Amino acid sequence: MRFLPTLFTIFALAASSVVAQNALILAPADRTQVTAGSTFNVSIAQPDSNSSWKNVAIVVGLLNCAQFSSDGKCLGPSQELGTILYSGPFNPAFTTDPGTRGLPPHQNFTFTVPSDFEHGDSQLGVALFDLVGALLFPSLQTFNTTIVVN
């Protein structure tokens, strides 16, 4: 049974290398102001990695923080996504457009803030479900940025 610690170490190293490839929001920048009823652009990146993975789906939501807590702080996208702006495939890719060289693989989206959306600090939250590594184990990443709806 000496191989069990070695096997555990191999899985732990594989899992830690996978965690390093977390997706992130490239745009909008934190605290960007958007107007209710207007459109805004979102760019979500998933850095290139030596690990293999298969994206299953991504969900992007907008949550007014004051509406759901007395202190005006959002719970985080792992607990609440709010109004769903997009749910579907995520296919990040390198681009050759001027000004995007050096960026990790990413996908751009254009969303509309609902015209009746409450003003104030809001969480642009993302949940990404993918299958990772040679064994394709399930992984759920959540991440967010704050935008100000006016």
Q: List pLDDT tens digits, range 115-150.
A: 999 999 999 999 999 999 889 999 999 999 999 999
3-state secondary structure of 71: coil
- Residue numbers of the domain that contains 11: 3-149
Instruction: Specify the CATH number for the domain of residue 76.
Output: 2.60.40.10
pLDDT at 32: 97
Closest to 121 in 3D by CA, of 62, 77, 80: 62
Contacts 24+ apart (CB under 8 A), 93-97: 94/48
Query: Is residue 109 pLDDT above 50, yes or no?
Result: yes
Residue 40's DSSP bridge partners are 111
Phi, psi of 112 (to 5 degrees): -115, 130
pTM exceeds 0.85 for this model: no
Greater confidence, 27 or 2? 27
As for how many domains the chain has, the answer is 1
